[in-house]
Amino acid sequence: MAATAKEDTGDDTLDELLKDTSRVEELSSDEEAVFRRGTNDATTPEINGVPFPGKGHQPAPKRRLADADLPPWLRTSTLALPLYHPAFQTTTSESQHKTIAECLPLLTGQDTQTLPLNTHGLPALRRTQHAAFLASTFNPLPAPYVVVDASRPWLFYWTLAGLGALAQPTTPYRDRLISTVRPLQNPTGGFGGGHGQLSHCACTYATVLALACAGGLRCVDRAAMWRWLGTVKQADGGFRMAVGAEEDIRGAYCAMTILTLLDLPLALPPDAPARAAGLATFTDRLGEWVGSCQTYEGGISGAPNNEAHGAYAFCALACLSILDAPSESIPRYLDVDALVRWLASMQTQPEGGFAGRTEKLVDACYSHWVGGCWALLQAAVPPPNRRSPSTPPSSAAGEVSERDLWSREALIRYLLTCSQQPGAKGGMRDKPSTRPDGYHTCYSLAGLSAAQNRYSYDFAGETVDAGGRLVAAFNWSVTGPSEAELEAWGCDGADVVGGVHPVFVVPMAVVERTRGMFEGLGGLS
């Protein structure tokens, strides 16, 4: 997907950073050891201020806010509480203190990075700049981007999903996108990450979602896709990421998303290897396999007996929410109480964002991977007035919303103050010491949507339609924030991101449009 060369806006580009003396290459063992010592090495220079402010950025004048004007978790009395026992300083605790030190001036308003402020004194959401940053992915990219050649579909998905969340039109990209991804579609089904590459569940998932955003799903060979997915279905119920590749929770979520959005038959193809183990459908043993990925901590790992990870928790919950109503499938296969405890512990203090693993640092991408879990979990936990998960609630949305076990306000504050890149280009980043990219921009916006909007599940809706298609994931609706909520969160209306579907992670309207795209075709075509 090419266009005219980009105008130089004065900010650093990846190409500029990686020329000649700054080549990307693997570190030797000795070099890596020095790198990992970081600030423990006396030769490492100290970094002051925002490490990547963009060219021409001028430091904002310092200001002081009264303690009473700050939320409780950022007040002096709370910040005085030790995060770690002072006698046990580790590399982890040192990294945590460094991260807090770079975030606190932004969170408390002492440093606004010269970002424009909303009427509540927080940085406003830079909608125009973020949209331009995302759209620039479809311009000619500098040479170093060759390292992501196997991830090309992800660039398309992050761009289009992010633009959709910002209410930017995405269907104008349809023809260009189709012409770009057609060569990535293999005759045996599925999409590779680049030209001549094997089909892969993650790349196929990203391609299908990107095409859905652009309205181009009819270019997919659905019959070949169905047969290919049959080759990665495993006898234990899970899915491999590709033929002969690893089996993990990503494969389960990606495969079920593809099957559902493309309205593919649930019956396994006649030659699917899993049929030899007695399996007849793509859903056979799947819930049990997902449940086997829950760890002793309560979180979800990529595969049984691995470490719990926030992104895998989302994949597990979303996969189960495709199989059946969340109130039925999630409690059936997971220890919900243990998972809730683990997810709640991932919200960092005082930053307010989420980490992805135990004792790891805040990262804006987990605004979605962990923040996106809460809508699914809240639909899985019956409100007090429900006698059983099968009984529709009388006012579930109002009751469930009062039982938040996470701080929406804290996450919103982190994303607006710490995740937005200052300077001309826009984009969103992991944390202030990192650079913006499409991945973090897309999932920061999805996390902002999860925090600002209320998602309701229609418990009376059907979960399997007359044709045998799983339709549980189509029973979601979204309600925007009230004026009182905006006031409490420090947001203006212009800071609000549109509803992002809690299972498929594209705009709600895209899912509704896609649902009916293949109805009435009379089979695979």
Active site residues: 309, 357, 360, 363, 365-366, 430, 437, 440
Report CA 299 to chain centroid distance, whole Å: 17
- In angstroms, the CA 72 to CA 90 distance is 28
Instruction: Map tokens 């652009």 to a residue.
Output: 214
Q: If you write DSSP's letter for every residue of 33-80 in order, what string do you get?
A: HHHHHGGGSTTSPPP-S-S---TT--PPPP----GGGS-GGGSHHHHT
CA distances for 258 relative to 89, 262, 380, 408, 494, angstroms: 46, 6, 23, 30, 33
| Interacting residues of 521 by C-beta distance below 8 A, sequence separation 6+ | none
Maximum alpha-carbon separation in the chain? 70
- In angstroms, the CA 268 to CA 233 distance is 9
* Type of residue found at 108: T
Return the DSSP state at 281.
Answer: B
- In angstroms, the CA 431 to CA 221 distance is 40
Contact criterion met (CB below 8 Å) for 10 and 57: no
Report CA 517 to chain centroid distance, whole Å: 25
Return the DSSP state at 120.
Answer: T
Residues linked to residue 240 through DSSP beta bridges, in sequence order: 247
Contact criterion met (CB below 8 Å) for 250 and 302: yes
Q: Is 80 helix (H, G, I), strand (E, B) or coil?
A: coil
End-to-end Cα distance, the chain: 27
Contact criterion met (CB below 8 Å) for 376 and 317: yes
CA distances for 316 relative to 163, 216, 262, 331, angstroms: 26, 27, 20, 12
Contact criterion met (CB below 8 Å) for 107 and 113: no
